[in-house]
Structure 1
Amino acid sequence: MSYADILRAVKQNENLQVLGENVSRIKKTAKGEILLELKKAQTGITKEYREEIVKILGDQAQIRSLTQEITVEVRDLDDITTKEDIAQAIRSEFEELRLFSVECIKSIRPAYAGTQKAIISLHAQEAKHLLAAQKIKIGWSNCRIREKAQLKKCFRCLDCYIPPSIPHAEYEKILDDLVKDAMTTTPNIIAGDFNAWALEWGSKNTNLRETLFPQQNQEEGIYYREEVAHAPEITEQEVVQAAERFENSKTPGLDGIPNRALKIAISYHPQPFSDLYSRCLREGVFPKIWKVQRLVLLQKPNKPAGEPSSYRPLCMIDTMGKILERIICTRLENHLEGDGGLSDNQYGFRKKRSTLDAIKKVADSFVPAYLSFFGRGVSLYDIRFLVR
């Protein structure tokens, strides 16, 4: 039967006139099914409506009743408690749950201090009785009852991979089918390796996938210059001093090497590291692997877990790359602080100089000029650089 045939048969039946009065909305799902949403006051008689619809449609359609379920946690169970023990205790304690089934207990998991935790899924009306009690006696233990927090899914995620070996015609058909499927749900997230641009994904244009991602030369994977000026060899002392500036407690990058272990290795055998870094300067290479970052999401305090804005992203890079950056930075600072480097009148972003030093210099210059009745002007600038 089609969607229209099923809807017509249900609406025209005299025995379901009461059902029509209690339906708040009729929707067509992405799979072409009919979804009847009842008013909240009538959710307790969903089973009766389902049985009546089954009598009308028979084997011509599959009928399912969707009811709200709540996941409940039962904590502080002893180590030998079984599902049967939990079910028996619930049936004995609650008259409303005398038909409680063991199948409602989804799992029993180890918890702290040798205890266990049971996960139970119940209809909303049945779960209210358990949650209202807050505790239940199971065996010798008084077990706590809590509602398990569930993250609501606000997106439908479509994940796919389209191999480059399939013909272009088949590739276009897959994209068309995926777009049609995505249009039936909103909002949605589409993620995958499509090997192409398409207007449907928000790209500027639609191109053949073969022309969008040309084969990359291996040399393009490294950052380098063809002509490299001579750079002094990096000494072992420079490597050791740069490594000591990183705290042991800092989180490692993608290589997973803790800072403490790396610093110990450098302190005992600094020569291989100095040779490696000297070669990087000599060849003008910064290895690409040291630029690959490990993303860590930290939840902000008092923010809901289901919101993307509730997390603070941190990108962790390998300390090996940080050490090379620190050595180069130290050399640049020493060069700029030397003769012919930065002006003596620059106080911003320099070591052992602050705003107070700049104010003091202005004051020292102003007082003699004021006392000698000669005017002197002061110009203040806020200069910002845009590097492209």
Structure 2
Amino acid sequence: AIRFRQVLDQSTPQWQSVTLSEPVRWSMNDPLEALISRLFLLEADGGRLPGKTEYSAGELVIEPWEPATASDEALSRAFGLLVDAHYRTSPADLRQWLDDPAARSWRARIGDQTVGVLWCALEGGLPDELAQQVSLGTRRIRGHLLPQSLASHSGYPEAAVLRGLRVVRIAVSDEVRRAGIGQCMVQAARGYAAEQDVDYLGTSFGGSADLLAFWQTCGLHVVRVGLQQEASSGEYPLQMVAGFSQAGRDLEGRIRNRLADHWLTLLPGNWQGLEPTLLAGITADLPTGPTLDKDDLRDLSNFANGHRGFQVTVPVLRKLSQAPGIMAWLKSHEALAVWCQSVLQGRPWSALQADRLCLGQREGEDRLRQVVRDLLKDGPGL
């Protein structure tokens, strides 16, 4: 509902919300239901900030925070922010947040009002033998989501041996969102990780272009894209990491380089559902590919200004997509969706026509030729 409402607001602003207020399965004033609701914070609400919504840098305080020792009011406010911001937050998350000895949390406040919360978990530090078993897929242990994923799916058992700090949830009050508070909390977590000799900071989330951009501003980079769309969000899982120690930085670099090497091969068969802006953002975030040689530039010129066929030019167009600055340049181009779906995702022209991205193959190819002409004339580094 959180994300779908945003779509409705943009596409059909006249939509109406209908809310069921009278219970169906119990009486209105059932005392047991009221007790359960209070115990598990089922009605937790981030609430609204009283008074002004602007603040000076000196008024914002970022501090370590222990939810298990907080007052009922403060805990309800903080958990309400998580509920408001995350579609999957449940009472099971509340229990984990309070009980998990690996949990580390920070709070952002203005005065005595909580305006943001960051919940992290220490992960990894597994013995070498167990990490190898996780990498082989013969063992799966409770917790350690990010290191296990990088060990088993990306194939790097050392990710489970190293110590990581994973962001589990982050939320900021609506009234002060996009004011840098989230970045300040992540910066506090980075400072803690450095002090505690943690090797890397990471996060795993349902991929979207705005979340990718946020984590990039926090200094994290893409290391893995999940192959299956999440049933709850319809989005591909995206995992990002920032290495701190030498071992952590080496691991980040190796995983990113390997993903970049495999990206153009894996993309058409696995991620045809990736939204173009997100796809462009991921591709731009990965390390660049091999330099275009004179034969590549000749083929691009013949495609842009002559009659060289699209199909035989696809390998060069894909190589061009990994050239420095190209996808960042294309992100603001009106033909981005056509480029992503035809060149990178390998969708047939009939599918693009059905999605009203082009009138047909000829018109679609003409648009790509114009893009390449623009790139050859004004593109970065060409």
TM-score w.r.t. the length of structure 2 is: 0.20
More helix by share: 2
Question: What TM-score does the superposition give when structure 1 sets the normalisation length?
Answer: 0.19
